[in-house]
Structure 1
């Protein structure tokens, strides 16, 4: 990578190099196991001019999202998060029966279903054909497209301007930051609102959350760099909320620059925190690579020692972040014979690169392993409750991030 995709600067500094891995959602069918599997460098750098952290755009969104393995509705806590957001947004923005809401990257309708239930006119824009079809089956109007300025203008011309545009967990997934932001501006009414949720680089660095670095995530935002990204498309940040989702996210509230006004005190507060953490200078990034290496060593030591003791360890979940962790650590079926997942789309498939079988969740109760390695560690509270049954045979849960943690669960 020679230039920053936001500001064009060539002043790019290395943050962490995770080697080369396959795309994290490219789960393998059994008949693909003897075929070559492409892998791409996974090297995070930061621009020392605008401080946008980013990886090279080595794969395209079309390659990743035309057929997608992630369905949001399989996470109970995520559906509840969406329901709460809708209730709060309706109240905050006084959205009534005449309002129009658009969600970009609307997945299987997990969020807009709550708008539908409230009788609020809405539209999802979802690039994945299979996931968008699931949304339409759930009576959530959904357009199969990638957002760009042309699509934004076409939707506005057909449906009218949106009072609220929601873009949750997608602002990191697009390499053309400026074009995507211009698309958001094309969608939103001149006096409307844009709400974006994206993982916070501050917590990623502080909590060793390096497994959320993968090829789908082209960039990683602080509030400072997000402010600049929004401005590139004619939007101004007016408020920010700190969220616990994905290990620590930010909810950015933006408006067209012409009507934005002064930002809330919360914006200044978070900017101060980021500056204190050194994220607007190289000092905030220099120790991250060493802490990532320790996560790897600690997890491998645990798995090897468990195997030598004759104890069994299986996985829970097959999230994209888990595949970064498994590939970086070099974990294969000899150390983790299988993982399970609630999403039946993944059953009978294998994790990319590491080729670990993915089975239905019921397999854990059948096999009664000594340990369950929880790969979606960001759902710790939800999954600790879901997996509480492992106490019946003395099983324990293992969380690899932010540091190795072995937990005895209670009934």
Structure 2
């Protein structure tokens, strides 16, 4: 019988033993449970199975690819828990199964040592106290812990975990109140979908920041040249033109980056650490030096080139006379050049690692509409006479407009080359 029970348990089945004992009808009152449940005659054993959903093995594999470690804490028999775990792929890299009594006898240091071992773990016949101890130990080791549960006894662990996940269908009200997230379909695969959505949102926040920060360099550096030259180099932008950039042309594309789809390989990255900030050094280097630096060189080249083409020399007065119109054209070219570089920056910021070919040029329609909006907005400011007076712009020559066309490609191309190099280095 024990052999049959173990065999069925290894297949992930829950086994019940049925037994009887006849009591003396003349004994009067029924005995207590502890007194009654001995000297029983085994009638047989029955096995039940609650098969995992078809999508769970794939979800487990995606967790492994994403660097998520799975630890099972269950009240089932150790062999049953192992059978179910192995059937869905839990245990890649090694699987250790511990009984609840073993955990209860462990000190905190011994439990920490067990959790620090490589591979995945199954804690069988576990108590609610064990769930809480395991949660605390993992958090103490620096892990970000997501704990699932459905019963009243799971509530303390759900509350203590970084993310408590309760079952919406089978879970108790107490568990749902204690949890951070409630699964309305009680499906483990939904947790993996939520992880992917969270990573996508986090990536899009970083893309938004890169896009916004990249434009500070071409806006600030020309003003530094004006200040450091003592006014020998005229102002490259007017205040109204800066407002037109910050509040007009860059707004819609920035919002569109928040709707970007997930990058290829998003769920193959290692999880972030607790100490990692949304804004880090590599992101600032990319925004300020790569995208912003290339944009600055292009913007200054068009600004100074327009001045020189109009007859300007270093230190010449552009406040009046024929050079004033040349200066207005130069500031207009600075404004339009920044808008053109914004298009390249927005295209480059769509991805942090993958190439544009992998995600597709037309997969974010909102960004395309944002680019159309900023081009039309800039055109209106430059061509409508009333707005030209307000923003201090002048209609550029055709050859100046032609020089704007390659700017988005140059900005995007430099970033694409660096990302390509980073992908090769990672491989």
The answer to whether the superposition gives a TM-score over 0.5 is no
Comparing both structures, which one devotes a greater share of its residues to helix? 2
Decide which structure has the larger Cα Rg and report it.
2
TM value normalised by structure 1? 0.26
TM value normalised by structure 2? 0.25
Higher relative contact order (CA 8 A, sep 6+): 1
